[in-house]
Chains A and B, each alone.
Chain A
Amino acid sequence: MRIPAFLVLALLPLSGQDAGVTHNDWLHYGGTQFSWRYSALDQINTSNVKNLLPAWIFQTGDYSEYLGSTPIVADGVLYLISASARVFALDAAKGTVIWQYRYPTPRPGIAGSHSDFIQNRGVALSDGKVIFGTRDNFLVALDQKTGREMWKVSVDDPKQCGCNDLSAPLVVKDKVIVGGNGGDQAHRGYLTAFYTKTGRLAWRWYVVPAPGEKGNETWKGDSWRYGGGSPWLTGSFDPDLNLVYWGTGNAAADFYDADRVAAGTNKSKDVNLYTASVVALDADTGKLRWHFQEVPDDIWDYDSAYEVLLMDRQIRGQMRKVLVHMNKSGLTFVLDRITGEFLSSFNVPEVFNWMTGVTEDGKLVGRNEPALGKTQSFCPSTAGAKSWNSTAYSPRTGFLYTPTNELCNDITSNATKPTEGRFFMNGDFPATLPPNRSTYSHVDAWDPITGKRIWSVPYKYILLSSMLATAGDLVFTGDPEGNFFALDARSGNKLWSFQTGAGHRGASIAYSVGGRQYIAVTTGFQQTIVGGAALGLFPDESFRAGSTLVVFALPEGSR
């Protein structure tokens, strides 16, 4: 049953906040710069989703890789990037190619470093340009109309840093901001902003402060040089506050802290700033406005690099501008996004042993840390209670939708010294399945303000695809076996499912062309890193690679 519009307004748990909602287009990685992955389209809804059928299918040709990018749609054109950086502009109603571009095979980075993996998480669209990062760490801008290369700029040297910039850039006014990976290498992370018009540098903000800068005192000796913290995903932007929000990565080395944390350090205070934090930066200058460190002395590789959802919600009777942010541990924080003040937190995974809780002012309690030369099981795993695939938020239900995994890993730390750009994790960490369970993931709906889990739908393997929420009160995601499915956003009941032929490690989006709503999903499962770990954990399964976009709509005439 669909709810009349006037009732919807009455039910809305928040102010008429439209900045987080997509309509016909899907212009940003997270839908909008508020990163909700929520569409106002409701032509496809709980009553008719059972009729959903493929409208068109597009194969990028990168069939031996995975398709992990979030497509962008503007004015009836869909922009898609494949793992090896083939870029396509497609007619979003028919799937025909308007133009295509292929980034030349780059020189390899450091073997085995992040710069060596073939992947891409999406393009950004701004100023008539399609902008993306490359494996050899350039940022490239193509002409949105023709696919012609317009500018290309080196963000860093992957041969030296072992890093690159394969997350979708975030467009902020006249700039494009890109985070980089490399926080598991001996590297010092940063965000870099370039002018979309010229490709020229606007600003760079280093996650780890240099000597003389505030926060450097939280690092032991010279350890800041290779302190990690790489903000390797895509941030958010609040135009009213002119603030950019970003999650930062783990401190390096990941599993051994004696070289970066002075003995006797109080870990209920900030340690190794600004790693494993949410930061707010001035959008024009890149200057730090505030920070909140979620995992002081992160020694479990629980980076906080994930998406930041900006929303206005009633808290204790008062409308507040908040942000909701989950890190890899599954601990999810609600902060005042004007000041960074801690408001509340909730913990999403069922299996955890790295801490026992969080105080009322946001401090970790009962830390359980890896120790040198000793093998211990820690949960969640470094693959994350959630991986880098995004959550979604519906302003109609007020719920946050999370793909949660229940994994552990056996960490053995070591004290290897760093070499610039080379792996600097200082530990082995084979993933394991927690005992006495038959399911290892679940899609949940959470009320982020009360921290209450509303419903939970278990799944036997793990979930590594982003969530999509729509005004049709539907929640979409896909699984590694290839099923793409829709749940009722209020109850979690499964309403529809379609076997797309390859595993899901990307995202789905909603858009509309000529009055017809489409749901597009990327398919093709990741065979390395977290996807590879999943293949190892479930050896009897074959979560297949591929690189296909499958686009669904209601049959013509049935709407």
Chain B
Amino acid sequence: MTRAFLFLAVAALAAAQNLQDVLKQGETVFSKSCATGYCHGARGASGGAPRLAARGFDQAFIANTVTRGVPSTAMPAFGTTLSRADLNAVVAYVASLNGVANLTTNSGPPGAVAAKLTGDAARGRDLFSDAVRGFGRCSTCHEIGGIGIAVTTPIAKVPADAAALKALATPQVSTVTVAAESMPALVVGKKANAVIFYDLTSAPPVLRTELPASIQTREGSTWRHSPVIRLYNDAELSAILTYLRTAVKL
């Protein structure tokens, strides 16, 4: 138990360090490519082009716009001119200007993963977002390559097998109590006047915004990953893991 927590703490620290580096890189790219007076201005505060800071943009939207540009405007498609690392960094930076809570450092152009898969990985990709499974599919909470709803942070580490996927520990899920009702929750934002969290009681998760004074939060929950993936059998989960291994590497 202690060791697991220690591991998570170290991993979190490493992730935070990595994020700071990425944001720094993003700021550099932004100041060179985006911040001129004709365009978005320093720190996205606006220039000849629209303000980018505090616009409520989500990261996927930013990634798409940066990658593809905006047709019939001066906004170019940077997907072909910036390196993958620079593109990811500048997207994360603009997302940070918009107060995005769970920053992704690997946005990737939407659909990039989809094209080149075969065999189990291709089957896993289809299962990941299989419409027939309704809200019981992975993409109800996870986004990869522009497909899915990014309830959670991007998948960074792929479990070894179906058993490990079912046994996945989720210490980031806490318990929130609102009006005497307790629910498993993923807290994604805390501001002076609001706590924003996903209620994980049932699928799909519901993003709730509550006044800080009206809720109580405690660590840990009874929420488990295994029941929410019950519509997949072990062979299907295994195919999905094969897909994830490919997609996360890409």
**Chain A interface residues (CB < 8 Å from chain B):** 102, 104-108, 148-155, 157, 159-161, 187-188, 198-201, 204, 210, 225, 420
How far in angstroms is the closest Cβ of chain B from A138?
8
Closest A residue by C-beta to B134: A204
**Interface residue from A150, A159, A187, A201 paired with B204 (Cβ < 8 Å):** A201
**Interface residue from A149, A159, A204, A225 paired with B147 (Cβ < 8 Å):** A159
Residue of B55, B131, B135 ringed by the most chain A CB atoms within 10 A: B131
CB of B60 within 8 A of chain A? yes
User: Total A-B pairs in contact (CB under 8 Å)?
Assistant: 74
What are 14 A-B residue pairs whose CB atoms fall within 8 Å in the complex? A105-B57, A106-B58, A151-B206, A151-B207, A153-B204, A159-B110, A159-B147, A159-B148, A160-B139, A160-B147, A161-B131, A198-B199, A199-B206, A201-B203
B139 touches A201 (CB 8 A): no
A sample of 12 more A-B contacts (CB under 8 A), given A157-B148, A199-B207, A225-B131, is A104-B56, A104-B58, A105-B56, A106-B58, A153-B207, A157-B139, A157-B147, A160-B139, A199-B199, A200-B199, A200-B206, A204-B135
A148 touches B209 (CB 8 A): yes
A157 touches B149 (CB 8 A): yes
In the bound complex, residues from chain A placing their C-beta under 8 Å from that of B57 are 104-105
A148 to B191, CA, bound (A): 14
CB of B61 within 8 A of chain A? yes
**Using an 8 Å CB-CB cutoff, how does the interface string of B141-152 with A read, 1 for contact, 0 for none?**
000001111000
Closest A residue by C-beta to B64: A107
B129 touches A160 (CB 8 A): yes
Given contacts A198-B199, A204-B134, contact A104 B207 (CB under 8 A): no
How far in angstroms is the closest Cβ of chain B from A160?
6
In the bound complex, residues from chain B placing their C-beta under 8 Å from that of A106 are 58, 61
B139 touches A107 (CB 8 A): no
A160 to B207, CA, bound (A): 21
A200 touches B202 (CB 8 A): yes
In the bound complex, residues from chain B placing their C-beta under 8 Å from that of A187 are 131
CB of B20 within 8 A of chain A? no
Which residues B204-239 have CB closer than 8 A to chain A?
204-209
In the bound complex, residues from chain B placing their C-beta under 8 Å from that of A198 are 199, 201, 206
How far in angstroms is the closest Cβ of chain B from A186?
10
A104 to B55, CA, bound (A): 7
A137 to B82, CA, bound (A): 31
Closest B residue by C-beta to A150: B209
What are the 4 A-B residue pairs with the smallest beta carbon separation, nearest first? A104-B56, A107-B61, A199-B206, A152-B207
A198 to B140, CA, bound (A): 18
In the bound complex, residues from chain A placing their C-beta under 8 Å from that of B64 are 107-108
Closest A residue by C-beta to B146: A159
Which residues B159-214 have CB closer than 8 A to chain A?
199, 201-209
CB of B132 within 8 A of chain A? yes
In the bound complex, residues from chain A placing their C-beta under 8 Å from that of B56 are 102, 104-105
In the bound complex, residues from chain B placing their C-beta under 8 Å from that of A104 are 55-58
In the bound complex, residues from chain B placing their C-beta under 8 Å from that of A200 are 199, 201-202, 206
A154 touches B140 (CB 8 A): yes
How far in angstroms is the closest Cβ of chain B from A420?
7
A149 to B195, CA, bound (A): 11
In the bound complex, residues from chain B placing their C-beta under 8 Å from that of A420 are 131
In the bound complex, residues from chain A placing their C-beta under 8 Å from that of B58 are 104, 106-107
A151 to B201, CA, bound (A): 14
In the bound complex, residues from chain A placing their C-beta under 8 Å from that of B148 are 157, 159-160
Residue of A154, A160, A161, A199 ringed by the most chain B CB atoms within 10 A: A154
